[in-house]
Structures are given as C-alpha cells and as structure tokens.
C-alpha cells in the first residue's frame, strides 16, 4: 500500500481514539518512525503531509536528514550515547530518550556551543522495570527532572516510555497510565522551567490505548512504513 494510504489510515485511527477519549483531534502528534527505511520513503510521507519523523540511530538520522530536500522535523527516539550528541544540534528538534543526567549535560553543552535555542527533551522512564529497557526508574524520575531542570540549553517537555511487548494492547494500558500519573506528580512539584505537557507513548501495536491514556506523541513505524 502506498505510504499516503497507510498514513491516512493511521491518522484516521488517531482521530477515532481522540474522539473516543474526548480529546481534541489536535492533542496528539504522530511521529512517523522511519528507522531502517530509505530517505525516499520519508520524502514520500512528507509529500503526503507528514511533518515529524523519528529515528533511532544517530548515523542513520544524520545521513537521512542530509538526503532530504523538503523541510521535516526529526525526533531522536533511540538510546543515545553521549559521544554521539554532537552530531544532533541543528538536525533534531526533540530527544525522547534522556535517561541520565550526564546525557542531559552533554546535550546542554552541545546546544550551547552550536545553537541559540534550547533542545526540547523528554525524560525516558522504564515503567515496567525490565532490565533490557533503557530509562530511569519511576522512583528516580522526579530527582532526575530536578537535576536536569537548571540546565539552560535543555527544556524538559515531558516523559517517554516503552512498555513491554504484548500481543494484546490492553495489557500495555497500566504502563501508559503509570506514565501519565508520574507526569502529573512531577508537574505538581512545579519545578521552574519544567513543562510536563508531552507524553510520548504508543507504537504500531498499541497507540490507540496510549491515546486513551493521554499520549500526546505516538511513535508509529510499522503501521506506516511496513515491516523492517
Ligand atoms: C522502532 C520504534 C518505534 C516504532 O515501532 P513500531 O512497532 O514499528 O511502530 C517506536 N518507538 C521506539 C522507541 C522505537 O524504537
């Protein structure tokens, strides 16, 4: 199926999930996850009106961004090593995967030397506690946000999570709910400069449930671009 059609189908599902949960249709942004798919496919999606794309690997992201001639917005959604941060200023508009202070400090340093505007970031939380997943723990999330908040070139916009994989998307619901509650808790701490307005959660298999639980950014790859 052409990308224009799969995109329209995903957008329709997002709109339906917003309607079901009484949320405004503009409350959820689609991050089209293009990892391991060619730049030509990203260009095709961009031509159909998709503006935000998510990538997992720095080298692939940098290469793909260089190949695209149309203006798109890139989000880094993969695990990020501090020594790769230097390639990202001027290319990405948001980093979803900040899970430690040292990484935030490096983002702050790189954005300070290269750009005038701060970098929007999300703090990644490992809600399930699985040892294979990145992310700070639920217990340490508030302290991490407090530690990052004073960095002038980093702006915390919210939280991101990846629940365990389930065949039944309903099984992911408690993890999405948990992230929303954690964001509420951090917001109520009223930390200066911290917004907590974005919840990045939900992928191809479970984005509707994530939207019902408050997702503002859904990261969808396979349902748009096919199998990787
Ligand atoms: C690959 C990836 C996605 C997209 O997953 P799909 O199941 O293909 O929709 C979303 N988020 C992250 C962090 C990913 O690595």
- Which residue matches tokens 């999300």? 122
Decide if pLDDT at 105 tops 90.
Answer: yes
**Confidence tier at 116 by pLDDT (50, 70, 90):** confident
For tokens 């991101």, the residue is: 160
Residue in the structure block whose two tokens are 């329709």: 12
Question: How many folded domains does the chain comprise?
Answer: 1
**Residue 196 zone, left/alpha/beta (φ > 0; ψ -120 to 50; rest):** left
Which backbone phi and psi does 20 adopt, to 5 degrees?
-60, -40
At residue 148, the pLDDT reads: 98
Contact 95, 122 (CB under 8 A): yes
- pLDDT at position 206, please? 97
Distances (CA, A) of 124 to 41, 97, 120, 204, 224: 28, 5, 13, 19, 24
User: Rounded to the nearest whole angstrom, what is the distance from the C-alpha of residue 222 to the centroid of ligand 1?
Assistant: 8
Q: pLDDT digits over 34-67, tens only?
A: 999 999 999 999 999 999 999 999 999 999 999 9
Residue 157 pLDDT > 90, yes or no?
yes
- CA atoms within 13 Å, Cβ hemisphere of 48: 17
- Residue written as tokens 């999570």? 161
CA of 220 to the centre of ligand 1 (A): 6
Q: Cα-flanking dihedrals φ and ψ of residue 98, to 5°?
A: -90, 115
Confidence band (pLDDT; 50, 70, 90) for 181? very high
Give the residue ranges of DSSP H helices in the chain. Answer: 3-20, 39-47, 58-67, 101-114, 138-148, 173-188, 207-212, 222-225
| Residue 180 domain boundaries | 3-225
CB 53 within 8 A of CB 73: yes
The dihedral of CA 111, 150, 147, 118: what is its sign? negative
Contact 51, 70 (CB under 8 A): no
Q: What is the pLDDT of residue 38?
A: 97
Beta-bridge mates of residue 75:
54, 94
pLDDT digits (tens, 9 = 90+) for 62-87: 999 999 999 999 999 999 999 999 99
Q: Give the binding-site residues of ligand 1, using a 6 Å CB cut-off.
A: 33, 35, 56, 77-78, 162, 203-205, 219-223
Give the residue-averaged pLDDT of 197-207: 98
User: 57: which 2 tokens?
Assistant: 């690997």
pLDDT computed for residue 203 by the predictor:
98
- 113 CA distance to ligand 1 centroid (A)? 31
pLDDT, the chain, mean: 97
CA 146 to ligand 1 centroid distance, Å: 28
Q: List, for residues 18-41, the tens digit of each pLDDT value.
A: 999 999 999 999 999 999 999 999
Q: Which CATH number is 214's domain given?
A: 3.20.20.10
Distance between CA atoms of residues 6 and 12, nearest Å: 10
**Confidence bin at 226 (pLDDT 50/70/90):** very high
- Nearest Cα to Cα of residue 77 among 47, 62, 97: 97
Taking 90 as the threshold, does the pLDDT of residue 222 lie above it?
yes
In this structure, the residue with its CA closest to atom 11 of ligand 1 is 219
Give the position, in ligand 1's atom list, of the atom nearest the Cα of 31: 10
């Amino acid at each position: 199926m052409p990308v224009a059609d799969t995109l329209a189908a995903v957008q329709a599902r997002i709109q339906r999930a917003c309607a079901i949960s009484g949320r405004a249709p503009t409350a959820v942004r689609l991050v089209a996850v293009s990892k391991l798919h060619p730049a030509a496919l990203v260009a095709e999606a961009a031509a159909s009106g998709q503006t935000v794309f998510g990538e997992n690997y720095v080298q692939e992201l940098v290469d793909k961004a260089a190949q695209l001639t149309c203006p798109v917005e890139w989000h880094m959604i993969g695990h990020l090593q501090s020594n790769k941060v230097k390639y990202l200023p001027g290319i990405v508009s948001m980093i979803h995967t900040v899970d430690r202070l040292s990484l935030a400090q490096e983002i702050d340093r790189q954005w300070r030397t290269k750009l005038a505007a701060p970098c929007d970031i999300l703090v990644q939380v490992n809600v399930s506690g699985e040892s294979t997943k990145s992310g700070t723990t639920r217990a340490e999330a508030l302290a991490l946000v407090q530690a990052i908040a004073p960095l002038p070139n980093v702006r915390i916009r919210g939280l991101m999570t990846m629940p365990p994989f389930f065949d039944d998307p309903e099984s992911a619901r408690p993890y999405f709910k948990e992230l929303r509650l954690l964001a509420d808790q951090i917001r109520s701490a009223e930390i200066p400069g911290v917004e907590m307005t974005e919840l990045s959660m939900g992928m191809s298999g479970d984005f509707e449930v994530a939207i019902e639980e408050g997702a503002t950014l859904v990261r969808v790859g396979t349902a748009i671009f096919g199998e990787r």
